[in-house]
Amino acid sequence: MNKTIEVRNPRTGISDHTIVPPSKNQLEQQCLNLRQAQIHWQQIGIVGRIEALQQLKQAVLSQRDRLTEALVQDTGRLSISALEIDSFLSSIDRWCQLAPELLQESEKNTAIPFIKLQQTFVPYSLVGVISPWNFPLLLSTIDTIPALLAGCAVMVKPSEIAPRFIAPLMKAIKTVPDLRDILVFIEGGGETGASLIEYVDLICFTGSVATGRKVGAAAAANFIPAFLELGGKDPAIILSSANLELTTSAILWGSVVNTGQSCLSLERIYVAESIFEQFVDLLVTKAKSLKLAYPTVESGEIGPIIAERQAGIISEHLQDAIAKGAMVRCGGTVEEKDGGWWCYPTVLTQVNHSMKVMTEETFAPIMPIMPFVTVEEAINLANDTIYGLSAAVFAAEESEAIAVARQIDAGAISINDAGLTALIYEGEKNSFKYSGLGGSRMGAASLKRFLRNKAFLAKTNSVADPWWFDS
Ligand code: NAD
């Protein structure tokens, strides 16, 4: 496993960084060390754990410039890197506020008057987190923070495509005495991820359906729980009553933010036939106003395509759609500039479900739009997919939109907006179909995933129980 992995810079195309994954023995030893140190972490209780995480927050703030620089190198984008750091820091505060109440033990009477119930929890000792490249910091910490507060030690294996942020983050972690022995980010690729599953008690995986299947199977073989957060092909339904000005702005943001490289990007847009042309014209005008973040990282809104293999997939989807009759209303090409790959915001019409761009995850700033006549037709089209991550519905009345949302097979539906599940952390949701498996990563339920319930059932009187044997 110790084979060096070259890391490409998404803006230049040059491999200007390398990582060296740990050997299997090193990984196993590190996991044993984490497991040993977790005993103290659990013993210091929630107050001690909150204190350590607040120290981490300060340490990250002191490393902020280095962390930003590393994330910019990893992803080629500036404002989203800053946003990732802010979201990470605010997630520490949010979980520190929520955790004490969630970890309260309770005592209750039961249906049998002389039996009392004491409900307690025991954290899993060692949690493994495997994360993707599209939001390197955010997605490697989204499960990590609640797992730490629950009392677990955590080993994180971020993507080998965007690993530069690991060094400054580990530098910050190492300054916090109670954290440095129970939280480790390791470098490595798929092989390291696969090995990690052998040594942990629970695995949180974020990535593609194809890898998620392997992770799920390996977790089952090791008899550990797996929480899988996988791909999507999110639909938006725009009913004829929708406010076109607001809707086109929300669709544009929901489809092209982060260059469309988000699991919850809107990748299919179904618009009522009566407003179709008006909607397309307005969306095209707005899409054309966006600029590439090129030549400098400070310019424009659309960053480079982070993963090179992604550029090939996007071209393939575009060519497939055009060959089958799609009309390009703006954008439509994947271009190489100074070694990086770029895709302008693209609007496609005359699309249908025989095209990859309507059925497979494209992960690009592409908005394929189809008209519908009846609402039933729109719902059938939205549900005609193997995915069920999230969706959006737009209408003049919230109740009209919710009536449609109830019929969409997905875990989180934004009403009259897009991508709200990334901003509103309270909303618990499960992925439908192939978009994932396991409990909600959002909301209070997220932290509970890292605890095993334990019940003490105490007899409180000294009278023989009616169900005992007579002897
Ligand atoms: P990927 O599946 O290729 O890789 C994800 C991680 O898995 C990487 O760290 C990789 O090294 C590791 N890995 C690869 N093979 C492995 C194996 N056999 N065992 C264990 N780990 C292994 O995904 P990606 O291309 O990095 O990320 C993009 C995908 O992630 C898209 O499908 C996207 O929709 C999805 N995603 C989902 C969410 C969500 O919350 N549902 C969020 C972001 C991204």
Question: Where does the pLDDT of residue 52 fall: very low under 50, low under 70, confident under 90, or very high at 90 and above?
Answer: very high
Question: Where does the pLDDT of residue 471 fall: very low under 50, low under 70, confident under 90, or very high at 90 and above?
Answer: confident
For ligand 1, say whether the CB of 215 is within 6 Å of any of its atoms: yes
pLDDT of residue 59: 98
pLDDT digits (tens, 9 = 90+) for 100-151: 999 999 999 999 999 999 999 999 999 999 999 999 999 999 999 999 999 9
pLDDT digits (tens, 9 = 90+) for 272-285: 999 999 999 999 99
For ligand 1, say whether the CB of 214 is within 6 Å of any of its atoms: yes
* Domains along the sequence of the chain with CATH: 5-230+435-456 (3.40.605.10), 234-422 (3.40.309.10)
Whole-angstrom distance, CA of residue 277 vs CA of residue 282: 9
- Which residue from 27, 263, 308, 362 has its CB within 8 A of the most atoms of ligand 1, so it is best to mutate? 263
For ligand 1, say whether the CB of 227 is within 6 Å of any of its atoms: no
| Nearest one of 169, 260, 231 to 386, comparing CA atoms | 231
pLDDT of residue 1: 56
pLDDT digits (tens, 9 = 90+) for 422-452: 889 999 999 999 999 999 999 999 999 999 9
- Which residue from 130, 156, 234, 359 has its CB within 8 A of the most atoms of ligand 1, so it is best to mutate? 130
The average pLDDT across 236-253 equals 98
pTM, full prediction: 0.97
For ligand 1, say whether the CB of 160 is within 6 Å of any of its atoms: yes
Evaluate the omega torsion of the peptide bond into residue 295 and state whether it is cis, within 30 degrees of 0. yes
Q: How many other CB atoms sit within 10 Å of the CB of residue 452?
A: 12
- Evaluate if residue 269 carries a pLDDT over 70: yes
| Nearest one of 344, 340, 339 to 328, comparing CA atoms | 344
pLDDT digits (tens, 9 = 90+) for 285-314: 999 999 999 999 999 999 999 998 999 999
Question: Where does the pLDDT of residue 2 fall: very low under 50, low under 70, confident under 90, or very high at 90 and above?
Answer: low
- Ligand 1 atom, smallest distance to 188 CA: 11
Whole-angstrom distance, CA of residue 373 vs CA of residue 376: 9
For ligand 1, atom 19, the nearest C-alpha belongs to 194
pLDDT of residue 468: 95
pLDDT digits (tens, 9 = 90+) for 377-431: 999 999 999 999 999 999 999 999 999 999 999 999 999 999 999 889 999 999 9
Catalogue the active-site residues. 229, 263
Average model confidence (pLDDT) across the chain: 97
For the chain, state the CA radius of gyration. 24
Backbone φ and ψ of 459, nearest 5°:
-80, 130
